[in-house]
Structure 1
């Protein structure tokens, strides 16, 4: 419970996560039926890039900053850029004017329609209070001070049943991958139609691939993994990339995402051997 995302806001992992998340929500909004969105490890929802925490590592400069420095971002990532501009009215085409970075709760709240619902969970006692302050009073949003894994088991299937769960733990516990695997598999048994988006760091690619196979083995629905590495993923002592496992991805989702993923690889690569891929873990029935 020591993890504070303020040190890492806007880094390459955030960029991938948020680009994919916005595409998923846009696909769900193609139908008028109400949605229930869940974020299991919400953080504070909104980040000040001028803060001491963000400035200490400056990770956003090689993440969102690198994306915004390319004029093509406006064409390739229109939803992502629209969200950043909504939060930073002075943002220009060079990336100047970026002052605040949205967390996934802010992006999800912004996407809500009248009948949609959003449930946010955060365990850190200070962060949950900041989250409530940052998102304001919105009758469509419920904020819980509770463990995200416990909440996912207790709150699914949600009402309405159509929806998405974003699962983005801190991975500060050595057993976190095992806990995540058990939680996702249990959720899928109870909520077979739910769209699940599970973010994960990539250190050693072989270990990551083994874990993905283990998680996906009992899943009885189409499942893909979207991955971006900024350097070859051979050094297990550092974060070399990140990915999202997506259970029940929208129809033709991978085709729509592929050009965005290729663009992100070009902008976010730090060494030769950076990569981007969309991998099928479970084929559609």
Structure 2
């Protein structure tokens, strides 16, 4: 199945959590001069136009990034992420109107929103490499166009799960792996966890980020159980749910499993999560932050 298009959901509350964490992880990786490898198993289009029919049809970004992009009370932990989104949109404004004065621009408009490759591109350096996988025939074209001027990036239209396993351990022995499937098939819940377990057996010092939707609680519980019964150590689980669990169809929340998180990520999320509840949530919104498996 290749019907999923992230363009409908770009910039929603799930992206805010996922991409703020990805920004913090990549920012941490750049604090050492030695290069690292970034691997993205389900990359999507790379960059999304929020004025197009997909984003406008759902308007999900209006209840996500749009609510916080210009908030002066945002916690410091969100600064790498929010600064990136602002700079991309200022650049977009400049491309549209070359005479615009970037120093005095006060527009609140959001023209573009990056997918995970767009986040990564802002952080990786000359000494770093990136490997992006995508199967969707339309999104792979957009992704290839997005990556045209990106040095040391390798884009493949192939199975991202196998792609991850084929690239580790990286020569630098430093790496960040994002696994972010569309979960069109129930098998993705099990397959994503198993891929990280297999990858960990080959490269136990890498940082792995696994995104998941909260649609059926039992599927998330199965993921947690599979991790706890494996050899994987140091797993942080974070979850942000707009609504309580329900048997009805639809995503009520979002979460991440993070293997080998940066040491300060827990304290950073302790700032981000209550802020997200205040700005994006309601009285029914909840969040959890749990060291699922100790180091």
The answer, yes or no, to whether TM exceeds 0.5 is yes
Asked if 1:67 corresponds to 2:74, the answer is no
Report the Cα offset of residue 154 of structure 1. Answer: 1.6
Distance 1:150 1:263 in 2: 37
Distance 1:261 1:108 in 2: 22
Deviations 1:165-206 (A, max 9, x none): 010000001211121122111111111111000000012335
Contact 2:193-2:227 within 8 A present in 1 as well: yes
Distance 2:141 2:160 in 1: 16
In structure 1, the residue matched to 2:98 is none
Match of 2:229 among 217, 221, 233: 217
Does the residue aligned with 2:54 lie in a helix, a strand or coil? helix
Contact 1:41-1:169 within 8 A present in 2 as well: yes
Report the Cα offset of residue 94 of structure 1. Answer: 8.3
User: Taking structure 1 as reference, are residues 123 and 67 closer, same or farther at Cα in structure 2, changes over 3 Å only?
Assistant: same
Deviations 1:63-92 (A, max 9, x none): 111223633137552111211121111599
Does the residue aligned with 2:68 lie in a helix, a strand or coil? helix
Contact 1:74-1:81 within 8 A present in 2 as well: no
In structure 2, the residue matched to 1:46 is 47
Deviations 1:256-277 (A, max 9, x none): 22101221122111x4221122
In structure 2, the residue matched to 1:119 is 131
Distance 1:67 1:150 in 2: 36
**Structure 1: unaligned runs, 5 residues or longer:** none
TM-score scaled by structure 2? 0.90
Asked if 1:136 corresponds to 2:136, the answer is no
In structure 2, the residue matched to 1:175 is 187
In structure 2, the residue matched to 1:83 is 84
In structure 2, the residue matched to 1:282 is 293
Report the Cα offset of residue 159 of structure 1. Answer: 2.6
Contact 2:228-2:293 within 8 A present in 1 as well: yes
Distance 2:128 2:294 in 1: 29
User: Taking structure 1 as reference, are residues 74 and 210 closer, same or farther at Cα in structure 2, changes over 3 Å only?
Assistant: closer
Report the Cα offset of residue 41 of structure 1. Answer: 0.3
Asked if 1:31 corresponds to 2:32, the answer is yes
Asked if 1:99 corresponds to 2:111, the answer is yes
Deviations 1:11-46 (A, max 9, x none): 111111000001111122222221101111000100
Q: What is the RMSD of the two structures over their aligned residues, measured on CA atoms?
A: 2.0
**Structure 2: unaligned runs, 5 residues or longer:** 94-101
Distance 1:74 1:213 in 2: 33
**Number of corresponding residues:** 283
Asked if 1:12 corresponds to 2:13, the answer is yes
Moved over 4 A (4+): 90-95
Distance 2:147 2:209 in 1: 22
Match of 1:267 among 260, 275, 279: 279
Distance 1:216 1:104 in 2: 27
